[in-house]
Amino acid sequence: MASESKRQQRFAGIIQQDLADIFQREGQNWFPGSFITVTKVRMTPDLAIARIYLSFLESKTSDELIKNIRIHSNEIRYKLGAKIKNQARIVPSLEFFVDDTNEYVSRMDRLFEQISKESRQDD
């Protein structure tokens, strides 16, 4: 995958900040009891599609939440459009994904811990 241009990165930052604000203000109405963090936004070169990676705290069912977010994606896109109307010609289509980086890091930490315990037992 080619690296993103400065334009893509700048627009992704705007989208990330505005979506974080939307989820902070409206998230409890749509998804009660969960805290949603926008961890990363990747833009296509034509800025038509935004791939949004979300992390969920205080929630065990991230798959259900992502389905719920996809159901509300038109409303989220509308609210985003109201925020970025002076900064963009078009409001990008939104694609939501679960960011499992934290789960991956904790899984790797457990594996390294297990390996270090095994090596200590061998000594």
For 72-93, write each residue's pLDDT tens digit: 899 999 999 999 988 888 899 9
Residues making up the chain, counted from first to last: 123
Domain 6-122 has CATH 3.30.70.3040: no
The residues spanned by each domain of the chain are 6-122
Continuous segment of H or E residues that includes residue 32 = none
The pTM is what?
A: 0.77
Q: Name the residue among 79, 33, 35 with its Cα closest to residue 55.
A: 35
Helix (H, G, I), strand (E, B) or coil at 54: strand
Tally Cβ neighbours within 10 Å of residue 88.
15
Give the end-to-end CA distance of the chain in Å, rounded to a whole number: 44
For 42-67, write each residue's pLDDT tens digit: 999 999 999 999 988 765 677 788 88
Which residues make beta-bridge pairs with 101?
Answer: none
